Amino acid sequence: MDELRRHGAVRVAEVARELGVSELTVRRDIAALAERNLLTKVHGGATLPSRLTGPAEPPRAQRTRFTIGMVVPSLDYYWPAIVTGARTAAAVLGVNVQLRGSSYDPAEDRRQIGLVLSKNSPTSAHLAVGWRTACAELGLHDDLVVRESVALDAPRHREIIAEVLRDSRRSGITALIVHSDSDAMSVAQYCTEQGLSIPGDLALVSYDDEVAHLAEPALTAVRPGKKHVGRLAVELMVSRLTEGSRRPAQRILVVPELVIRDSSMTPLAR
C-alpha cells in the first residue's frame, strides 16, 4: 500500500522483486486488499481506487482503452525518468501513451496585466500571493494591484474604476483580472459606457465564475473546483477514519479551471 500511494499504480512482478517474495504472494495480497476496497485490481497489478465506494473493479467488458498524449520539454536530463514512470503506469492501466518532445517557447507578444481584488474577501490575500508568484515566474510586471470593491452596489465604485483605468493606461496595461464576478461585471459595464471595447481595448478575466456568463460580453473566468473540494474533503476524512494512523498525511492541490469566453478572445481566436 505504501508503494501504491507513492506511485498510484504497481505491477506484480516489480513488487515481487522489490519485496523478495513470489508473484503468487503479491497476487494474494492484492486480492485480499481489493476485497477491503483499499485498491483496484488491474491486469498485472493494482491501482488506487478512483472512489472509496462502489465496486473495486469494473466489469472487463466495460473497460475503455485510452490513448494519452504526453508532451515533455526535453527528452534528456530529468525527463526520461518521468517518461519511464508514465509508461509503467500506462502499461499497468492498459492505456497507450503517445510521447512528443517540445521546448519552452515564451510568447513574444504579451499583454500587460493588472489585478483588481475584492476588498472584503479573505481570498484576496491568497490571490495576491499567487499573482506575484506567477508574474515572477513568467517575467511579467506586477505593479498594478488594486484592492477595492467595485461592484455596482459598492460606494464610489465608478470613481475607483475610472482611477484603475487611468492607471492602466499610464502603465500600458491592456488586461485586468478582477475578483470577483460582480466586480468584473461592473468594470465591463463602465467600460461600455465610456466607449471602451472589450477585449479590444481591455481584456477582462473574472474570478469565481458564478454569474460571469451573464455579462455582456460574456466574461472569461477562473472557476475554482468547489464541488470537487467538498467531495475530496469527505473522501479524505473517510480514508482517515478507515485507515487511522496508517494513512500518511496528504496535501492536495486542486487547480481551478479557466473558462474562456468573449471578454478575452480576439476576433481571430473566435
Q: What is the pLDDT along the chain (270 residues), one digit of tens a residue?
A: 888 877 778 888 888 998 899 988 999 999 899 888 888 887 788 887 754 334 444 444 344 468 899 888 876 777 888 888 888 888 778 888 888 877 555 554 567 899 999 988 888 899 999 999 999 998 888 888 999 999 999 999 999 999 999 999 999 999 999 999 999 999 999 999 999 999 999 999 999 999 999 999 999 999 999 888 998 889 888 888 988 888 888 888 888 999 999 999 876 555
Residue at grid coordinates 477585449: 199
| CA-angle at 41, arms to 246 and 7, nearest 5° | 55
Q: Give the DSSP letter of residue 44.
A: T
Q: Give the DSSP letter of residue 108.
A: S
Distances (CA, A) of 135 to 128, 131, 235: 11, 6, 34
Query: CA-to-CA distance for 52 and 210, rounded, in angstroms?
Result: 29
Query: What's the CA dihedral at 194, 198, 202, 208 to 10 degrees?
Result: 110
Query: What's the CA dihedral at 199, 204, 205, 208 to 10 degrees?
Result: -130
Q: Give the DSSP letter of residue 249.
A: P
Q: Tell me the three cell numbers of residue 6.
A: 507513492
Task: Report all structural domains of the chain as residue ranges with CATH numbers, in order of start.
Answer: 2-101 (no CATH), 113-225+256-264 (3.40.50.2300)
Per-residue pLDDT at 108: 45
Asked whether the CA dihedral 257, 258, 260, 261 is positive or negative, the reply is: positive
Using an 8 Å Cβ cutoff, are 99 and 49 in contact?
no
Q: Within a 10 A sphere around the Cβ of 189, how many other Cβ atoms?
A: 15
| CA-angle at 97, arms to 50 and 16, nearest 5° | 65
- Please indicate, yes or no, whether the overall pTM of this predicted structure exceeds 0.85: no
